[in-house]
Amino acid sequence: MRKMYSTMEIDEPPSNGILSVTNPSALQKEATILTTHTNYNSSLSKKPLKFSQQNKPNPRNVMHRVAKGNLRAHITISANTREFINKFYPEIADEKWNDWHWQVANRIRTLEKLQNMIDLSDSELEAIKLHNGPLPFAITPYYASLLNAKDANQPIRRTVVMTREENFLAPGEAVDPLGEEDDSPVPGIVHRYPDRVLFLTTGFCSVYCRYCTRSRMVGVPGGEAQYNIQQWGKAIEYIKSHTEIRDVLLSGGDPLTLADERLEWLLSNLRAIPHVEFIRIGTKVPVVLPQRITPKLVEMIRKYHPVWMSIHFTHPDEITPEVSDALQRLADAGIPLGSQTVLLKGINDSVDVMKKLFHELLKNRVKPYYMYQCDPVSGTSHFRTSVSKGIEIIAGLRGYTTGYAIPNYVIDAPGGGGKIPILPEYVQGHENGNLILKNYEGKLFSYPDIVENTLK
């Protein structure tokens, strides 16, 4: 994203610059880029993106529309967050606090600011001071309001505040463990599976997760990824020329950090491709920047249905009244919602925490979709659990709670093998023509299986 704004708006040549709290010039650039970001709507309104006859909203989607008045514009401020605002932003009016541009422009990105808000542990302090690479830290004021100022082991704090363990490289870890670069026919597209592609739209996120699979490319000023309209155009040409692609996942970085007009440009161009049946948006924004989910945004998205959304949740503490409001706006706009959760040691690696998270998600009309084994990204060994822990969690859910609350537990195979589902061993084998099955309580049952070749 940082590169996207620089190439779109600033025309800065690619560089390997690094954002670091010890690198003031990089911070200055970040500030410039964010200013550009804040002014994005106004700069675009001078040069509106044109919609051709071909890529006008699909009339069949009219049936998905409801009266505008049905979309909630109200944004809640929860009690804890109110306390935080009173303490750290007493001069900020609710209107400003609830403006997502303000939230993005005022992300906490310096040691000084963070130290003012939370008591940093020695490990956090050392990591921030020494940080000198991609994946800077950045936290929206809203998400910062959820952090425990005293407890460095608070689960959600651990996901966004770096620690010294990030500097350790464990065996098997790699900067691009999934081999995405090898499956990229044109910049920004990862084409791994037969009928679908991943479209990396930006390298910018409102909050940087410390275990990010794409840590090599997010938050980097410069770097290999060039996010600009020319690149998007080439990616769209690639999708147009591959008629087997029926499903496009917009990801990044976080596509919902794009201005409405940019996102609409992408959605309308994709919707104009006859063989693209299904568009998905992968995002953490509803969780860390719920203010972004405005009635205007959801009104725009619904014009390009079917659009689905995969939302990155980590812990039940993330489901606040603000987030519930945002999810309600998305669901009311007819956007099917699924969640993606990375299994993280000491953060959500228990049946109880996962069950609570998945139950809360269902209450908010989000289907728990994937639980990922943490990818072996460089510097993430402190986040990774054993695979048996993941199996234990799935076994502790299946049968004990609603089937809808159980996600697919998968390992994204290192080297580009794709997602491989991992299940407890429910199938125990065959005996006398019967399939021997173990149920959730460990009891054995037999099922009279059909042997296919006896049917001929």
Which residues bind to ligand SF4, rule: CB under 6 A? 205, 208-209, 212, 214, 218, 252-254, 284, 312
Per the annotation, the verdict on 196 as an active-site residue is yes
CB of 87 to ligand SF4, least distance (A): 26
The dihedrals phi and psi of 47, each to the nearest 5 degrees, come to -125, 80
Contact between 158 and 123 under an 8 Å Cβ cutoff? The reply is: no
Catalytic: which of 260, 325, 349, 412?
Answer: 412
CB of 438 to ligand SF4, least distance (A): 35
Tell me whether strands 434-438 and 427-431 are parallel, antiparallel or unpaired.
Answer: antiparallel
DSSP state at residue 413: E
Catalytic: which of 212, 284, 325, 370?
Answer: 212
Query: Smaller CB distance to ligand SF4: residue 133 or 252?
Result: 252
Q: How many CA atoms does the CB half-sphere of 433 hold within 13 Å?
A: 6
Catalytic: which of 365, 367, 419, 438?
Answer: 419
CB of 158 to ligand SF4, least distance (A): 13
Query: Smaller CB distance to ligand SF4: residue 100 or 302?
Result: 100
CB of 203 to ligand SF4, least distance (A): 8
Written as one letter, the residue type at 310 is S
Query: Smaller CB distance to ligand SF4: residue 222 or 252?
Result: 252
Catalytic: which of 3, 40, 205, 238?
Answer: 205
- Residue 265 corresponds to which tokens in the numbers above? 């440009």
Q: Give CA–CA dist 43/171, Å, rounded.
A: 47
Q: Could you give the residue ranges of the DSSP H alpha helices within 214-303?
A: 229-241, 260-271, 285-288, 295-302
Contact between 258 and 109 under an 8 Å Cβ cutoff? The reply is: no
Catalytic: which of 87, 193, 195, 440?
Answer: 193
Task: Using alpha carbons, select from 31, 34, 17 the residue that is nearest to residue 134.
Answer: 17
CB of 404 to ligand SF4, least distance (A): 24
Query: Smaller CB distance to ligand SF4: residue 57 or 177?
Result: 177
Catalytic: which of 196, 345, 389, 398?
Answer: 196
Residue 156, C-beta contacts closer than 8 angstroms, at least 6 positions apart: 143, 146, 147, 314, 315, 317, 318, 347
CB of 206 to ligand SF4, least distance (A): 8
Query: Smaller CB distance to ligand SF4: residue 55 or 378?
Result: 378
Q: Give the CA radius of gyration of the chain.
A: 23
Place of tokens 């491989």: 420
The dihedrals phi and psi of 131, each to the nearest 5 degrees, come to -60, 130
Q: Could you give the residue ranges of the DSSP H alpha helices within 89-197?
A: 94-97, 100-105, 111-117, 122-130, 141-144, 155-160
Per the annotation, the verdict on 412 as an active-site residue is yes
Query: Smaller CB distance to ligand SF4: residue 218 or 272?
Result: 218
CB of 208 to ligand SF4, least distance (A): 4
CB of 169 to ligand SF4, least distance (A): 19
Cα end-to-end span (Å), the chain: 58
Query: Smaller CB distance to ligand SF4: residue 254 or 305?
Result: 254
Catalytic: which of 29, 109, 192, 329?
Answer: 192
Query: Smaller CB distance to ligand SF4: residue 142 or 272?
Result: 142
Task: Using alpha carbons, select from 31, 12, 11 the residue that is nearest to residue 23.
Answer: 31
Q: Give CA–CA dist 25/30, Å, rounded.
A: 9
Per the annotation, the verdict on 384 as an active-site residue is no
The dihedrals phi and psi of 263, each to the nearest 5 degrees, come to -65, -40
Catalytic: which of 40, 158, 375, 409?
Answer: 375
Per the annotation, the verdict on 192 as an active-site residue is yes
Chain centroid offset of residue 289 CA = 12
Per the annotation, the verdict on 374 as an active-site residue is no
Catalytically active residues are 192-193, 196, 205, 209, 212, 214, 375, 412, 419
